Structure 1
């Protein structure tokens, strides 16, 4: 307990929480376990619990340390705490918390200057691999680096690695003794250079707290209350650091969902979550199962997905209960090849955008990053803006760096105007106009700058008297935590990268055997169950619209040897054509586009684009095609983009064949959406009409 009288929490603080959320928020200090299903408001529950503990005087805000696994989640937690009037509570990732503590205690324990942090380990891993007689191909080095990370997260030394890897049946990138040799050499090289990697932040902080009693006492006097989010993803190393923080105390709240354990390849395990009440028999346990994110239709599908899992432990048997009004049924679609699947997804997204769904509210999710290319191409052809999650970081973009520099300068002598007005005034000097540009890269830059205004609006609404210096400090904190604001554009992301996020519409694509589940997840054991949980995570990202699709071959005209994912069996409605189709065969009964010449079906992306089947002769005007390509080359140079971003060759051929007379005829060509028609339509029609003249 903190010194002084116990205060009553802010009136209305707990209003709006459901009975289970409220029970978790007001649970007494001590061990609390919150089993929180997807979409059940766990972040809301966590932050209200912290606010209640602080407001009621059970703990001071500065004595709270909340940890989670991503900088975005930590940033979201800080934003919500601020809105609840809690200032001073720490909300960080495990690594960020350990880095602060290590930097603070290093001079006292080590004595010399703190070692620098190694941003990337591939160079040292390459040197270590070379010494061990292994190759230095980038893919091998990445696999070796990942295996070293797993070993350190699992508290496995180089000496113990071969035996532990054999017991764990690790799919090592090389023979275990060779991996151990690379691991040993990497550690020596790192120590000689006096640098730390991210795992060392946890290891060294743990060692300092375990081996230096005075340091441990000082830390434990400072922090009294601990909250761990996404507890199902904790590694043995993170658990050991948490135990060092606690020092035998039990003022710990953990929140997690074993059904969303998807990082076991990196050493994560749901065991600490599932065995929490064994460790703390007196713990308060609360189950959150009311899903406020997704429609009942999406929730029902999610329950079917995870309900088919084998050997589910008791602590993971959460059944979500949809709380939203009914929505559309999930859509299932089978295609003959990946480009056709991508074109159909892009067309559906265009329809959603036209119906009013924001681009930032739509995501395409896939199992491996290599799948994104065909969707990037399809979205480009459809004129749909997109962002690849894991690409260029928001705060590293040129226009954002320029904006930040201008804002810092203005904050040194802030104008006596309201915050949002001041921010708009500054950003107008670096490209934020009153009206957005028509599209392309200029529109992307404008959207990025506008998102900075939205941060100002959010801050003004939650912090009384917020001014430009306070706003710039908020941006600096977000940049350090890589917690970017929302930018308009369809999100392309892997299923792993989608964890913790949500969208109005989600497209789960490439759901074929060998991809979902991934090919190397052999047999029917835990590897397959983790793939099922990964699929479940993808399904539960959708609020309203959910599309699930797969293709039978990779390339147009390729052998149709694929079959849909085993996870889809039992999910498709009985009337769906694919539900009755033989394995590896295209479904029947689905409507297909028709050839504009003979009326027969068109089957692949090129035929759809041209509006005719391959059997029918081309009537392309070669001179017009040459003129169109010349125009495209000039336009691409002006925009400083590759020519295909303007129009692909297939689109130009279709234009040269069909020779549209007006904007309507142009938009009727597959791949030319309203956006591209608006940007390039007049130019294209001028080229076509000049040919007619």
Structure 2
């Protein structure tokens, strides 16, 4: 049987009741039933439910746990001797392999190399087959395909030299024993006669091979999954086995679970519309698997609030908005903090949220990631900053912190690589951005010193480490799968984060859409979606909201900001503004300032624009402030295009308020007069 079960449709309840019914009816002997899932938490929950239903003897394990139990039992009789020790983490072995090849690999690179080796092994590729030209993989840490194959082989050599095996070896060795030893295969099939596999869309080729050997030629197999929740392709998972199940097993029954018992009709409607925007004709993965027509969920709960959409000027404002809204929900509506989750695409997004929640004295817990101030790169950065603060306490922090953190991997531009390298950079970039923010908040003529920066970081670290019993869950979208909360905030829904910047193919974009769908369907009652226009406070606002929100969110979002100045700025831009060239509604602040799309031709005189930039540079030096604080490039372009004839006309240009007009208006008009 194959059960295609949509999000929130009660699949765990359905499959545990199916097993329990089989036991109660005498069809199953509990000890001969093996239920397989993908996390230890899910397996423990399944065992608990089965015990409550009178099926206590049923075995429920992850693939690795079940295979390890079998390997430990059969190794002495099938292979002989003592089973090699199992290594918990690959990092030290991968690092040793890299050293043998004289490959420079820091902690982040080692983690990415380990991930690539895991992908190769669950895809059943040896170092030789991985290195074949037909295997197309992106470089890792500037290592080409051939170099990665050599690292993979060196890793296997290190393991062999030390007499160790890893978690993938557990599956590979058990597959080998079952294939080579018919006595063992017969014994396993005699022990386990009925199989249930949950989250079947996440099965890797290696896990599927092991499952085939467990089941043999029998038809006692029930699989459960949802192709629209396939979000682990980067680990080797593929929904192909789920989608082709009835072709592989023509006698199988197929059941669809579409009644959503978790979420309100408003949340379910949004989830259905989100999946409805996919491109099935182009969404083909590397194995040729097409994303099929998704299940259309049918809500079973009473109506609830409509999903909210909020556009904020920058990441800091977005985090503050989230924290303030959570506090309001707690105080005014009695919502428990443990019933609230804030979900994001990358772990590097948590720092601003941690800081904002701490400022509101709201407890939180990080799921699937270390706390920001416990991350190794952050602790290393803090150590560098503390040392510098002792030796040069009065030095300006903004530039010196950049120099210090550059030695740990920070650079001005974000790395294009995914994984640990990107996460490490984001953590260090958050420290750099914090230094800039604190410096900008200083009175005119003063700067943030290393001593005060170190003290501020110590205070923030202490707040973040406070023990939390009742707290908001902060989690990446990937780590939220299988969980649910009454209220869910989905933050950072801008291009570059959702979809992630390194998504290139239609298959990549489809997986990002499914990831967002997983986030949406975590919400039971209240769903709040937000994005920001700039990474840093005072930034140019070049971000666009996620393409996945097209047709879902209002044209400009329901804008929310916390600072009075930001509120004034967003109110001015809330009304739809159309491009003066093509008539398209403009979405970004920069485009609204110019009153044209960024792709439409410019009509300003380059000489005027350069003269304005020269004036701005001189004014910034004289005022001791960054140039963009006076006017952004977009505002200067708008001035050059409009060529206002009077101060009142200058005031009509977005980005120029009364205070800036009073301070800089006369100088700007003088520049324009000289150029007319």
Mean alpha-carbon deviation: is it higher for 363-372 or for 311-320?
311-320
8 Å CA contact 2:9–2:261 kept in 1: the answer is yes
By how many angstroms is 1:390 displaced?
A: 2.5
What is the alpha-carbon distance in structure 2 between the residues aligned to residue 387 and residue 534 of structure 1?
A: 21
By how many angstroms is 1:317 displaced?
A: 2.3
What is the alpha-carbon distance in structure 1 between the residues aligned to residue 102 and residue 144 of structure 2?
A: 12
Task: Normalising by structure 2, report the TM-score.
Answer: 0.67
Pair 1:300 & 2:269 matched: yes
What is the alpha-carbon distance in structure 1 between the residues aligned to residue 47 and residue 315 of structure 2?
A: 41
- What is the match of residue 582 of structure 1? 586
What is the alpha-carbon distance in structure 2 between the residues aligned to residue 371 and residue 538 of structure 1?
A: 15
By how many angstroms is 1:168 displaced?
A: 3.7
Pair 1:250 & 2:227 matched: no
What is the alpha-carbon distance in structure 2 between the residues aligned to residue 575 and residue 149 of structure 1?
A: 43
524, 536, 540: which one aligns with 2:521: 540
- What is the match of residue 329 of structure 1? 306
What is the alpha-carbon distance in structure 2 between the residues aligned to residue 33 and residue 391 of structure 1?
A: 34
362, 367, 370: which one aligns with 2:348: 370
What is the alpha-carbon distance in structure 1 between the residues aligned to residue 177 and residue 533 of structure 2?
A: 55
- What is the match of residue 507 of structure 1? 489
488, 495, 498: which one aligns with 2:477: 495
13, 23, 40: which one aligns with 1:54: 23
8 Å CA contact 1:335–1:551 kept in 2: the answer is yes
What is the alpha-carbon distance in structure 2 between the residues aligned to residue 441 and residue 257 of structure 1?
A: 37
By how many angstroms is 1:117 displaced?
A: 1.2
- What is the match of residue 357 of structure 1? 335
Query: Gaps spanning 5+ residues in structure 1: where?
Result: 1-31, 394-439, 448-487, 589-613, 616-693
- What is the match of residue 549 of structure 1? 530
Q: Using a 3 Å threshold, how does the CA distance of structure 1 residues 316 and 224 change in structure 2: closer, same or farther?
A: farther
1:319-359 per-position Cα deviation (integer Å, ceiling 9, x unaligned): 01111100000010001110110000001111122222111
By how many angstroms is 1:171 displaced?
A: 4.5
Alignment of 1:89-488 (within 5 A): 89-163=58-132, 166-173=134-141, 174-311=143-280, 316-354=293-331, 355-391=333-369, 444=467, 447=469, 488=470
8 Å CA contact 1:563–1:585 kept in 2: the answer is no
What is the alpha-carbon distance in structure 2 between the residues aligned to residue 80 and residue 168 of structure 1?
A: 43
1:557-600 per-position Cα deviation (integer Å, ceiling 9, x unaligned): 11211110111111013684579462322899xxxxxxxxxxxx
Pair 1:568 & 2:544 matched: no
What is the alpha-carbon distance in structure 1 between the residues aligned to residue 347 and residue 50 of structure 2?
A: 34
Alignment of 1:643-682 (within 5 A): none
What is the alpha-carbon distance in structure 1 between the residues aligned to residue 120 and residue 467 of structure 2?
A: 41
Aligned pairs, number: 471
1:159 is paired with a residue of what secondary structure? Answer: helix
Task: Normalising by structure 1, report the TM-score.
Answer: 0.65
Q: Using a 3 Å threshold, how does the CA distance of structure 1 residues 306 and 503 change in structure 2: closer, same or farther?
A: same
- What is the match of residue 79 of structure 1? 48
What is the alpha-carbon distance in structure 1 between the residues aligned to residue 102 and residue 130 of structure 2?
A: 18
What is the alpha-carbon distance in structure 2 between the residues aligned to residue 577 and residue 227 of structure 1?
A: 45
By how many angstroms is 1:132 displaced?
A: 2.3
500, 503, 508: which one aligns with 1:518: 500
What is the alpha-carbon distance in structure 2 between the residues aligned to residue 65 and residue 145 of structure 1?
A: 30
What is the alpha-carbon distance in structure 1 between the residues aligned to residue 499 and residue 555 of structure 2?
A: 23
RMSD: 2.2
What is the alpha-carbon distance in structure 1 between the residues aligned to residue 325 and residue 250 of structure 2?
A: 51
2:589 is paired with a residue of what secondary structure? Answer: coil
1:112 is paired with a residue of what secondary structure? Answer: coil
1:329 is paired with a residue of what secondary structure? Answer: coil
1:135 is paired with a residue of what secondary structure? Answer: coil
Mean alpha-carbon deviation: is it higher for 77-86 or for 38-47?
77-86
Q: Using a 3 Å threshold, how does the CA distance of structure 1 residues 77 and 234 change in structure 2: closer, same or farther?
A: same
What is the alpha-carbon distance in structure 1 between the residues aligned to residue 10 and residue 292 of structure 2?
A: 18
8 Å CA contact 1:362–1:491 kept in 2: the answer is yes
8 Å CA contact 1:298–1:542 kept in 2: the answer is yes
What is the alpha-carbon distance in structure 2 between the residues aligned to residue 278 and residue 189 of structure 1?
A: 42
